[in-house]
Amino acid sequence: MCIIRKTAHEFSYGFPMHCNGIEYKNMKLREIQDILDASLIIGEAHLDREVHTCGASDLMSDILARLAEDCVFLTGLTTVHAVRTAAISGVGAVVFVRNKIPPEDVIAMAKEEEIPLFTSPYSMFVSCGRLHAKGLTGLNGDR
Amino acid sequence: MPDILFEKSFQINKKDFVHAGEASISAKNLLKSLQMDAGMIRRASICAYEGEMNVVMHGGEGHLALAIEKNRIILEISDNGPGIADTEMAMKKGFSTASDKFRELGFGAGMGLPNMKKNADEFELSSRLGEGTRVRMAFFTDAAV
Ligand SMILES: Nc1ncnc2c1ncn2[C@@H]1O[C@H](COP(=O)(O)OP(=O)(O)OP(=O)(O)O)[C@@H](O)[C@H]1O
Ligand SMILES: [Mg+2]
């Protein structure tokens, strides 16, 4: 039997707060939709929801291992796990890049979890560039 | 011993990738309905999900068990799969034995166990080859620390 225990000095109580002197630009989902020329797939009722940061990845651990709460999550993966990962991490909205549209069951799950889904014609690179240009920061507040 | 307010166990089905994560979503919704501390719910949900995905990707038949106390959540994820040959190695960031299939689906970065350790206030991984794996974690309310 092999056991690993966390030692006292490794304890971390919660996440660091966003407080490193950076002005965080909050953005409404309808602004993001506009900036990305995106179409809404589902989530009409939440267009006034605000997001604070942006995370872009096709790797689920990039979202899970970072402070993704209330972010907009850009991805090229339209799997059920992209949306489950978003739900678990508390992301504010998911944007699928390059006109990708997820299957029906994925849309149904997003509806249930109240996560708005968008699809943007732009690539991941261009989508990120457009949001960055309008002042959005990365998940850790970097610009 | 603090009083346990609530205990709940969810089944995790072997190799059922399509439904993998559902137990964690149910656990998260349960914690929310009990109006537990939001920060604690977030950390526990992420750990539950990482653990559940591990059971489905690498483990066997498994369970996700929650014991909820007033200011504390105990989360245990166990399975009867192949076990982990080298737990020290498995804990290293970037170590993964995930297949290409899982990598294409956005998993297998070798970040799950380190992330669980980071988010939990107490973390214990135990495994025996051929018998299975168990991760036991505890979370305290952000207010309590
Ligand atoms: N329940 C388990 N049963 C058997 N092996 C496991 C189990 N959990 C983890 N492992 C082993 O430990 C390794 C590291 O796990 P970890 O969660 O850190 O990364 P991963 O699952 O491979 O990738 P990621 O979590 O980033 O998607 C796994 O690749 C696997 O070899
Ligand atoms: Mg994992």
A37 touching B (Cβ < 8 Å)? no
Model confidence at A12, pLDDT cuts 50, 70, 90, reads: very low
Beta carbons within 8 Å of B111's beta carbon, 6+ residues apart? A61, A64, A65, B93, B94
List, in sequence order, every residue forming a beta bridge with A139; answer none if it has no partner: none
Strand B62-69 with B72-79, pairing: antiparallel
**Average pLDDT by stretches of 10, chain B with 145 residues:** 84 96 97 93 97 98 96 96 98 97 96 98 97 97 64
Domain assignment of residue A41, yes or no: yes
Closest residue CA from atom 28 of ligand 1: B96
Q: Give the residue, out of B54, B87, B99, B118, with the most ligand 1 atoms within 8 A of its beta carbon, to mutate for a pocket test.
A: B54
Which pLDDT score, from 0 to 100, does residue A24 have? 66
State mean pLDDT over A6-17: 42
pLDDT for the residue numbered A111:
98
- Output the pLDDT for position A19: 44
Indicate whether A90 belongs to any domain.
yes
Q: Is the pLDDT at A14 greater than 60, yes or no?
A: no
Tell me the average pLDDT of chain A: 89
Listed residues: CB within 5 A of ion ligand 2: B 54, 112
pLDDT value of position A118: 98
SS3 A88: helix
pLDDT recorded at residue A22: 54
Q: Which value does ipTM take for this structure?
A: 0.94
> End-to-end CA distance of chain B, in Å?
18
Domain interval for residue A87: 26-134
Q: Do A61 and B115 touch (CB under 8 A)?
A: yes
Instruction: Please give the tally of structural domains in chain A.
Output: 1
CATH of the domain at A73: 3.40.1390.20
> Which atom of ligand 1 is least distant from the CA of B79?
1
Alpha helices by DSSP H, listed for A14-143, are: 29-35, 60-64, 80-89, 104-112, 124-133
Beta carbons of A4 and B142 less than 8 Å apart: no
Q: What is the largest CA-CA distance in chain A?
A: 56
What tokens appear for A38 in the block? 């995106």
Per residue in A36-92, pLDDT tens? 999 999 999 999 999 999 999 999 999 999 999 999 999 999 999 999 999 999 999
Q: Specify the pLDDT at position A3.
A: 63
The whole-number pLDDT of residue A64 equals 97
Per domain, the residue ranges of chain B are: 4-140
Q: Specify if A78 maps to a domain.
A: yes
Does A122 reside within a domain?
Answer: yes
For position B43, what pLDDT does the model report? 96
Alpha-carbon distances of B63 from A15, A127, B6, B75, rounded to whole Å: 27, 40, 16, 10
Superfamily of the domain at B4-140: Histidine kinase-like ATPase, C-terminal domain (3.30.565.10)
Helix axes A80-89, B38-58, angle to 10 degrees: 150
A135 touches chain B (CB under 8 A): no
The confidence score (pLDDT) of residue B3 equals 78
User: Does residue A26 or residue B142 have the better pLDDT?
Assistant: A26
Examine the pLDDT at A11 and tell me if it is beyond 90: no
Query: What local confidence, expressed as pLDDT, does residue A25 receive?
Result: 83
